[in-house]
């Protein structure tokens, strides 16, 4: 299959997720969260004053939203947006991507180029630093066997952790190193393969412990984020932009959401 366009006309897409028959993603510079149907119909949740990035759904359907520069976590219950946590005192830099586990615990990266951290937000909204000394932590996934994988963009690697029953991260190790460019957003499939947005290499790679198994070329477009979903969980949704640096895209509407079919479904 080939890459098919699904939606466009937004500034800088991040944090793409599939939930309840819709594609959800942040427009960081457009200060909004969008939803898109499989027919390409878009709806918008405005978030003035915020630069949303990572998204994640708790088991009760609450959408958690990362507010990057305010270093906050917001919640959207389908009607209103509220503040659930201010992480400003815990983190050394603005926030980025997020993953939510099956128990509703959210993991959020603080994107320092050196000395980045990951914060865990528990169901009671208590926040704890669970990983340190990361090189710009970006996309994060939890594989079917419970391995936590994070993209370290400036380190050009994927790092892995074991997760204990309390949600703590242990035994840091390399999942993939020496990547061709800075990795950004991640998605995981049922076999534990990690689809990785290879920003400056203009492609999405499926990476396993053995190396790259699949590749989707994006021409001259910058790969930003991806998610698996769709009716049979075999649709890979792809966010791309015309530049890897958001500051250069302020005021533009050149980002796109595309979709392609893949063989291995979401977990």
Residues with catalytic function: 184
Long-range contacts of the stretch 216-220 (C-beta < 8 A, 24+): 216/3, 216/260, 218/3
Asked if residue 89 belongs to a known ligand binding site, the reply is: no
Residue 124 annotated as part of some ligand binding site: no
Question: Taking CA 207 as the corner, what is the angle to CA 201 and CA 209, rounded to the nearest 5 degrees?
Answer: 135
Assess contact for 221 and 247: CB atoms under 8 A. Answer: no
User: In whole angstroms, how far apart are CA 165 and each of 146, 204, 205?
Assistant: 10, 32, 30
14 is in an annotated binding site: yes
CB atoms within 10 A of CB 146: 12
Find the largest Cα–Cα distance for the chain. Answer: 47
Q: Is 197 strand, coil or helix?
A: strand
Q: Any binding-site annotation on 114?
A: yes
Instruction: Report the DSSP pairing between strands 22-27 and 32-36.
Output: antiparallel
> DSSP assignment, residue 122?
-
Q: Dihedrals φ, ψ of 114, to 5°?
A: -135, 140
- What DSSP assignment string belongs to 23-60? EEEEETTTTEEEEE-TT--EEEEE-TT--EEEEEE-TT
């Amino acid at each position: 299959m080939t890459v098919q366009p699904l939606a466009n006309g937004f500034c800088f897409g991040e944090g793409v997720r599939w939930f309840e028959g819709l594609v959800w993603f942040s427009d960081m510079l457009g200060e909004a969260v969008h939803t898109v149907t499989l027919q390409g119909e878009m709806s918008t949740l405005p978030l003035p004053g915020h630069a949303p990035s990572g998204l994640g759904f708790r088991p009760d359907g609450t959408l958690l939203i990362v507010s990057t520069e305010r270093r906050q976590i917001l919640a959207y219950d389908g009607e209103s947006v509220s503040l659930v946590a201010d992480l400003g005192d815990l983190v050394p830099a603005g926030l980025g991507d997020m993953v939510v586990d099956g128990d509703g615990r959210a993991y959020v990266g603080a994107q320092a180029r050196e000395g980045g951290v990951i914060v865990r937000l528990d169901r009671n909204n208590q926040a704890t630093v669970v990983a340190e000394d990361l090189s710009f932590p970006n996309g994060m996934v939890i594989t079917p066997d419970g391995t936590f994988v994070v993209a370290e963009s400036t380190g050009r690697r994927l790092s892995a952790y074991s997760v204990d029953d309390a949600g703590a991260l242990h035994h840091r190790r390399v999942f993939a190193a020496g990547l061709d460019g800075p990795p950004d957003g991640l998605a995981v499939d049922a076999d534990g393969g990690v689809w990785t947005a290879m920003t400056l290499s203009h492609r999405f790679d499926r990476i396993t412990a053995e190396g790259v198994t699949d590749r989707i070329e994006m021409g001259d477009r910058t790969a930003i984020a991806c998610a698996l979903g769709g009716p049979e969980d075999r649709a890979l949704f792809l966010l791309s932009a015309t530049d890897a640096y958001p500051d250069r895209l302020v005021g533009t509407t050149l980002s796109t959401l595309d979709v392609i079919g893949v063989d291995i479904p979401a977990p």
